[in-house]
A and B are shown apart, each in its own frame.
Chain A
């Protein structure tokens, strides 16, 4: 009894001698390392999100006093704003058509996944558009589409077809820009799949072959399931890329002709920061809507990642 008491006393005494940090080292260290990241994330991401939401309830020109208008910005946005409607549907077009980059990237990757002399050169040539800045891609494509001098119309004329002015036609312009965006995005997906293909287990391919699988069946039942991580990442970057589409629109059409190629991010910029903008409240409310659309996808991705990890455990 007495000895037990003594040992407790000494351990308490030695604990007192050790510093707080020493005592909580295991629990505290990860947080210490996380603090810089958390701080930066809070200041530059979390705080601005709440700030945007706050601004979206006001009318504000960015200079003077903010006037509280409640839900008025959202009311106008969701009930009678043609520009918002056009931008929203363009976003949907981007979302779906941009996904074409994934199968396109997959097939190029399958095509390039062979050992031929100089394959690295071919691979890097296919990857090249992704290295280019979006602004350059936009410029190149807008020259390609030029109504008179453009290469596209030269090709059409060669086959005896009527010239088209893709970027000048409100019904076609968005598709023209998406096509330009697909060029670098396909390259990106291709690289993701190329690295994924390196990890495909040759033994499973062998086994599949012994069981008589080939061609499409081999691809669908043996190769693709093993590429699932690559597909997942390709989905994430493509969907986020589609929602962020801004540079191409700004360079190629500046939102025109008559606003037919606007997307939410461009409209948000136009309302709040462009030459004729500085309606901060309204711009912020567009930002909030865009944020919730993105949040929907991000939540889904995070959830499916979490589920996969749990299953792996």
Chain B
């Protein structure tokens, strides 16, 4: 109540101010307030978001852009309150199944018309991730590739090359183990890292369509032979001792020193890990990247590429301005700028944008545009419904520590499936 009163006063004051401006400027297209709540709270993304709000405000001098930045983790629970009481115009969120609760509750605005009207040219490739029930509920603004980051210097020292198949991967791993190192570092304390391994192993073993059917709850965890094969492949690596010990006690950041100290040679991670690797003193000649190797050659490669998004709240006050803002954020030159190495350091979602000249971004872009014919998934905890994801990731962590418990784990996941999807 207090807030809206304040906003009303502010709006009327601004109304007066803009009335004064109206006489001097001709470009008085958008007026009023545009309220944005963003979760880009880490230092670099925060600067990007503040820059976006500033630039958009400069383009539309009569518009008052109010930006509020919320802690990224806190936003995951706060968004519910923010959208239901006195909703802002534009908010940040994530693509795919993560949108579902808000779409179902009617809190995100259906913006299919804007997509159809051609507002978002060059975004065709990512439209699927924004679609639920054949309607679009937002726009993406950035995404990043996942893949195997490895210690180039150690690979050279051992005379290894980037593996293309699972057999080569295993052969490489044996050499690495024989040299007294571990093949992969991982920290599963917060579970999702294990989800990444499952995504890749399952997509490579059974293909993209199988993986998505699993995410939609159409396959049985206990009955489907493909899933057993995936765990079988995973177990091969676990039994070799490929993963670092005690990974259940580390976060992904706490697992990184194993990589920087050379005790483990590879890390299956998202591209955001590169910044942390560089910060810990590794040069670009020491780190390199390869696409997760093929397991079944008949299954075209598919990749995890989590996408972050903007949405318009269905209770938005200034829909016109919100629409312009989404158009602005997704336009090719803004995309090029905000995803550059000095900004987010990720991949632009507009096909007409250019990728910053960065070793890893280039490889990732190349991989996602030419070598992901299978399809692009979001990530385990975004593709699977929330409850399934939490039960599932807990089971995956347990499997990595006690692979013998597989039967029990699959039973639990199956019983969660019976409950979640009905």
Contacts of A64 in B (CB 8 A): 104-105
Q: Quick check: is A213 within 8 A (CB to CB) of the other chain?
A: no
**Interface-facing stretch out of B40-48, B357-365, B371-379, B388-396:** B388-396
Q: B249 and A167: CB pair below 8 A?
A: yes
Q: Name the interface residues of A157-172: CB closer than 8 Å to any CB of B.
A: 165, 167-168
Q: Name the interface residues of B168-194: CB closer than 8 Å to any CB of A.
A: 189-191
Name the contact of B189 in the complex, choosing from A61, A76, A254 (C-beta under 8 A): A254
Q: A147 and B245: CB pair below 8 A?
A: yes
Name the contact of B101 in the complex, choosing from A61, A167, A257, A259 (C-beta under 8 A): A61
User: Residue of A at shortest CB range from B381?
Assistant: A276
Q: Quick check: is A256 within 8 A (CB to CB) of the other chain?
A: yes
Contacts of A304 in B (CB 8 A): none
Q: Assuming A64-B105, A147-B245, is B386 touching A278 (CB within 8 A)? A: yes
Contacts of A82 in B (CB 8 A): 412
* Interface range for B: 20 to 34
Q: B248 and A168: CB pair below 8 A?
A: yes
Q: Assuming A63-B102, A147-B246, A279-B387, is B107 touching A256 (CB within 8 A)? A: no
Q: A277 and B386: CB pair below 8 A?
A: yes
Name the contact of A258 in the complex, choosing from B77, B104, B395, B415 (C-beta under 8 A): B395
Q: Quick check: is A80 within 8 A (CB to CB) of the other chain?
A: yes
Q: B246 and A256: CB pair below 8 A?
A: no
Q: Assuming A61-B105, A258-B394, is B386 touching A148 (CB within 8 A)? A: no
Q: Quick check: is B84 within 8 A (CB to CB) of the other chain?
A: yes
User: Residue of B at shortest CB range from A270?
Assistant: B390
Task: Give CA–CA (A270, B189) in the complex, Å.
Answer: 15
Q: A256 and B397: CB pair below 8 A?
A: yes
B73-88 Cβ-contact flags toward A at 8 Å (1 or 0): 1001100100010000
Q: B394 and A256: CB pair below 8 A?
A: yes
Q: Give the size of the chain A interface in residues (CB under 8 angstroms).
A: 27
User: Residue of A at shortest CB range from B396?
Assistant: A258
Q: B107 and A168: CB pair below 8 A?
A: no
Task: Give CA–CA (A82, B102) in the complex, Å.
Answer: 30
Q: A276 and B387: CB pair below 8 A?
A: yes
- In the assembled complex, the CB of A77 is this many whole angstroms from the nearest CB of chain B, namely 12
Contacts of A167 in B (CB 8 A): 249
Task: Give CA–CA (A253, B77) in the complex, Å.
Answer: 20
Contacts of B308 in A (CB 8 A): none
- In the assembled complex, the CB of A249 is this many whole angstroms from the nearest CB of chain B, namely 13
Q: Quick check: is B50 within 8 A (CB to CB) of the other chain?
A: no
- In the assembled complex, the CB of A173 is this many whole angstroms from the nearest CB of chain B, namely 9
Q: Assuming A273-B77, A275-B76, A276-B389, is B190 touching A257 (CB within 8 A)? A: no
Q: Quick check: is B401 within 8 A (CB to CB) of the other chain?
A: yes
Contacts of B190 in A (CB 8 A): 254
Q: Name the interface residues of A238-274: CB closer than 8 Å to any CB of B.
A: 253-254, 256-259, 270, 273-274
Contacts of B121 in A (CB 8 A): none
Extra pairs beyond A80-B415, A275-B77 (12, CB < 8 Å): A64-B104, A82-B412, A147-B245, A148-B246, A165-B249, A253-B189, A256-B191, A257-B401, A258-B395, A258-B398, A259-B394, A279-B387
Interface residues in chain A, defined as those with a beta carbon under 8 Å from any beta carbon in chain B: 61-64, 76, 80, 82, 146-148, 165, 167-168, 253-254, 256-259, 270, 273-279
Interface residues in chain B, defined as those with a beta carbon under 8 Å from any beta carbon in chain A: 73, 76-77, 80, 84, 101-102, 104-105, 107, 189-191, 245-246, 248-249, 381, 386-387, 389-390, 394-395, 397-398, 401, 412, 415, 419
15 of the cross-chain contacts (CB-CB < 8 Å) are: A61-B104, A63-B84, A63-B102, A63-B104, A80-B415, A146-B249, A148-B246, A165-B249, A253-B189, A258-B397, A275-B73, A277-B386, A277-B390, A278-B80, A278-B101
Going nearest first, the 3 A-B pairs with the smallest beta carbon separation are A276-B390, A258-B398, A63-B105
